[in-house]
Structure 1
Amino acid sequence: MAVDLKESRTKENLMRAFAGESQARNRYTIAAEEAKKQGMYALADIFTFTAEQERAHAERYYELLSQLTGETIEVDGGYPVDPKDPIGAALKAAGHNEMAEYKDVYPAFGDVAKEEGFLEAASAFYQIAEIEHVHAERFEKLRQMMEDHTFYEREQNGRWMCMNCGYIHEGRRVPEVCPVCRHEKGYFIPLSFAPYMGMDDRAVEAASD
């Protein structure tokens, strides 16, 4: 069923998605600042990294509305007010919100776009939903680590990377100060979350978490 974008539900859903991604970016930026205040610099980097991906999602939805440049699109919607402290609560809320986008919100928006004949928009909704699934799982894993106190220490030996200099520490807990660059322990991250690791290494680390 071909529909003019100006008269479509997809137009409103794209704007809702743009607003939601924009707010998520700001929530994660705020959470990153809170993590920094608590000396958890590596965790702040993860929030910032995710925030930038939400910005990219918002930009994509905005591009799909470009033919309506100059228009004002009025939409209703509900958006969460997440806690920013303690960090574990912020991670839990972020994971919940991302999972809702993956399971419910974006698949439904994609179905509407497909029904109305906007296949490019439908594809964007479906594909970004899968990315939000990755975000949800990342936040949930981090929340679990914060809750069971394994982000910085383990019962058995673990490995962590200093995100400032790249030093990899092996032991039951991270040092209070990096022996290489002398940055505090908040710069350490479990090695399975470190960027640019090879997939084989990441799989081994994830299995040990």
Structure 2
Amino acid sequence: MTMDFHDSQTRLNLMRAFAGESQARNRYTFAADLARQQQMYVLEQLFTFTASQEQAHAWVFYNLLKPVSGQSLKVDGSYPVELYQELLPHLQAAQHNEYQEWEHDYAGFARTAAEEEFPEIAHTFRAIAAVEKTHGDRFGRFATWLEQGRLFVSDQPERWICLHCGHVVEGAGAPAVCPVCRRPQGYFIREKEILF
């Protein structure tokens, strides 16, 4: 017998997921502001790009709550406080949090939804969990590059693209200044990592 959605743990898990995605979006927006202040525009774009996807996830989870529209749902949860002055711990925390959603939170929510016979919601949790792994992987790459001083250099030739004007430079490192628009190195990204 299918559980009534109004009595389900799944509805509460959807609200937890909505709250988590909403908070992640705001944390990434705040980290993007810090990156802009530090003239690390590539990291600003990384956080902004991911924040937009977190907003999309929040919208998906929120819309699955339509059967309880007009109600207030009380849920408990814990959410990280990440007020760092450097960008590296923001990237590392983002990787950790994305992996937490992928491996623990959404995997468990998917199991519960399947047990309560909400297969479409279970599928949604699994699909968004896979995206969160991608987010975590990407944050991890950028964190490693930043920590190793390799955000703008590589062991092999790369194609580097200026996020302002689109100019592409080939070489083992991004130029200190874009030769076209004169923006600083912080605008360059490996072309294979382009975020849009």
- Please tell me whether the aligned partners of residues 43 and 189 of structure 1 are also in contact (alpha carbons under 8 angstroms): no
Taking the TM superposition and a 5 Å limit, the aligned residue runs for 1:59-74 are: 59-74=59-74
Amino acid in the other structure paired with 2:49: F
Cα distance in 1 between the residues matched to 2:38 and 2:169: 22
Contact (CA 8 Å) 2:49, 2:195: kept in 1 or not?
Answer: no
Q: Any gaps of 5 or more consecutive residues in structure 1?
A: 197-209
| Range moving further from structure 2, 87-96 or 153-162 | 153-162
Structure 2 equivalent of residue 165 of structure 1: 165
Query: Could you tell me which amino acid in structure 2 is paired with residue 38 of structure 1?
Result: Q
Corresponding position of 2:82: 82
Q: Which runs of structure 2 are paired with 1:1-209 in the superposition (5 Å)?
A: 1-195=1-195
Preserved CA contact (<8 Å) 1:10 1:109: yes
Letter in 1 for 2:147: E
Q: Which moved more, 1:123-132 or 1:169-178?
A: 169-178
Residue 170 of structure 1 aligns to a residue whose secondary structure is: strand
Aligned-residue sequence identity (percent) comes to 46
Deviates more, 1:172-181 or 1:45-54: 172-181
TM superposition score normalised by structure 2: 0.95
Q: CA shift at 1:155, angstroms? A: 4.7
**Cα gap change, 1:121/1:156 in structure 2, threshold over 3 Å: closer, same or farther?**
closer
Aligned to 2:31, the other structure's residue is in SS state helix
User: Residue 58 of structure 2: SS of its match in structure 1?
Assistant: helix
Pairwise CA RMSD: 1.3
Deviation at 1:186, TM superposition (A): 1.1
Superposed CA offset, 1:154-182 (max 9, x none):
35543311011111122333222110111
Structure 1 position 42, deviation (Å): 1.7
Tell whether the 8 Å contact from 2:45 to 2:195 is kept in structure 1 after alignment. no
Contact 2:39 2:186 survives alignment (8 Å): yes
Q: Partners in 2 of 1:87 and 1:75 — Cα distance?
A: 31
By how many angstroms is 1:85 displaced?
2.8
Q: Supply the distance in 2 between the matched residues of 1:66 and 1:180 (Cα, whole angstroms).
A: 50
Name the aligned partner's letter for residue 108 of structure 2.
A
Q: Deviations over 1:170-203 (max 9, x none)?
A: 233322211011111111112221246xxxxxxx
CA contact (8 A) 1:102 1:129 kept: yes
**Helix, strand or coil at the partner of 1:182:** coil
Query: Unpaired runs of 5+ in structure 2?
Result: none
Q: 1:100 to 1:189 in 2, by over 3 A?
A: same
Deviates more, 1:102-111 or 1:159-168: 159-168
Q: Which amino acid aligns with 1:115?
A: E
Tell me if the contact between 2:156 and 2:172 (Cα under 8 Å) persists in the aligned partners: yes
Say which SS state the counterpart of residue 169 (structure 1) adopts: strand
Separation of aligned partners in 1, 2:49 and 2:157: 28
Question: What's the CA shift for 1:118?
Answer: 1.2
